Structure 1
Amino acid sequence: MTSPLKYLGAYPEDTRHQVQALLAQDRLGDILKKRYPNAHGVRNDRALYDYVQDLRDEFLRNAAPIDKVTFDSKIHVINHALGLHTSISRVQGSKLKTKHEIRVATMFRDCPIEFLRMIAVHELAHVKEKQHDKAFYKLCTYMEPQYHQYEFDVRLYLTQLEHSGTKLW
């Protein structure tokens, strides 16, 4: 009996079969480790804030400022969330003030920089584009041309992690 590949449900059947075969041969982790040999050095919330802020400054200079960026242990990938972008609006006097916060699942504290970049780009894109539509993904690929490959590889990693129960980095 084969287990369902819940993180790869939207991919073509032949892709899912290839992943299933790699899992059966216990090779998926080795392939990911070879492609992404090292974990990133963003170890704390301040470093994460600086990393995301640098991306924002490079690609979204005219976008609203990001007020807070943190690793969040309450985000569970089981709920299909790798990170969250929240906007909090408050009335201050006669003005409406909006604060933007980005939270990244703590499990991505130990992952390749490409995975962290994909999540950061995804959450930053929500500052300008709220829905996961064509404009949203166009903005993601503008900020990171390899966005779709990294997203697929994150899904492979989550599949590997669920299958083996051990982290690669």
Structure 2
Amino acid sequence: MLSLKYLSSYPPELLAQVRQLIDSGRLGTHLETRYPERHDIQTDRALYDFVMELKQRHLRTAPPIHRVSYEARLDVVRNALGLHTTTSRVQGGKLKAKKDIRIAALFKDVPPEFLHMIVVHELAHLRESDHNKAFYRLCDSMLPGYHQLEFDLRLYLTWRDLRQGKT
């Protein structure tokens, strides 16, 4: 039986529909029809600018972000949507914190909607550390249709693994 590791928390009825798309060979066509374009944010600097523009628009009062980058070594299964980190250190008598956002490098070649969704997800962690209702409300307010995009990204990751023979 085909492993749907990116979709494991979805209802069985939905997984059956996904399996049907895969078995009929239509998953890739379905995704390419819905998301025909690829974004052009290829450098860490361009990614930083994109993230900062979204942060300025939606989270002005959130803590500053020190660094944003594509990361080739991120484990997609554990950190499929990227990684946000906080580094704290003592400087003089004060505690300084730096926030970083790292996005898996494989997301350099995805539709712009998926990159936008990943960035929104990581930005939401500046306000909400847990994946709770408030977190997902914030994601949806920054990007209407967030939940559908997250599901479609998980479909895309499944399709990518199928093409590479990783299932």
Place the TM-score, normalised by the shorter chain, in its bin.
over 0.9
User: How many Å apart are 1:82 and its aligned residue?
Assistant: 2.5
Matched residue, 1:69? 68
User: How many Å apart are 1:4 and its aligned residue?
Assistant: 2.0
Structure 2 letter corresponding to 1:94: G
Work out the CA distance in 2 between the residues paired with 1:111 and 1:161: 11
Deviations 1:117-139 (Å, cap 9, x if unpaired)? Answer: 11100110111111111111111
Work out the CA distance in 1 between the residues paired with 2:105 and 2:79: 14
> Unpaired runs of 5+ in structure 2?
none
**Does the Cα contact within 8 Å between 2:86 and 2:98 map onto a contact in 1?**
yes
Matched residue, 1:117? 116
User: How many Å apart are 1:91 and its aligned residue?
Assistant: 1.2
Runs of 4+ in 1 over 2 A off after TM superposition: 78-82
Identity in percent:
52
Secondary structure, aligned partner of 1:159: helix
Structure 1 letter corresponding to 2:15: R
Matched residue, 2:97? 98
**Does the Cα contact within 8 Å between 1:76 and 1:82 map onto a contact in 2?**
no
Secondary structure, aligned partner of 1:79: coil
User: How many Å apart are 1:145 and its aligned residue?
Assistant: 1.0
TM-score norm. by structure 2 comes to 0.95
Matched residue, 2:144? 145
Deviations 1:83-112 (Å, cap 9, x if unpaired)? Answer: 000011111111111100000000000001
For 1:13-162, list aligned pairs within 5 A.
13-162=12-161
Structure 1 letter corresponding to 2:101: I
User: How many Å apart are 1:78 and its aligned residue?
Assistant: 2.5
Q: Aligned residues, how many?
A: 165
Matched residue, 1:10? 9
Indicate the RMSD between aligned Cα atoms, in angstroms.
1.1
Structure 2 letter corresponding to 1:88: T
Work out the CA distance in 2 between the residues paired with 1:54 and 1:62: 13
Work out the CA distance in 2 between the residues paired with 1:153 and 1:48: 21
Work out the CA distance in 2 between the residues paired with 1:12 and 1:18: 10
**Does the Cα contact within 8 Å between 2:81 and 2:122 map onto a contact in 1?**
no
Structure 2 letter corresponding to 1:110: D
TM-score norm. by structure 1 comes to 0.94
Work out the CA distance in 2 between the residues paired with 1:27 and 1:77: 24
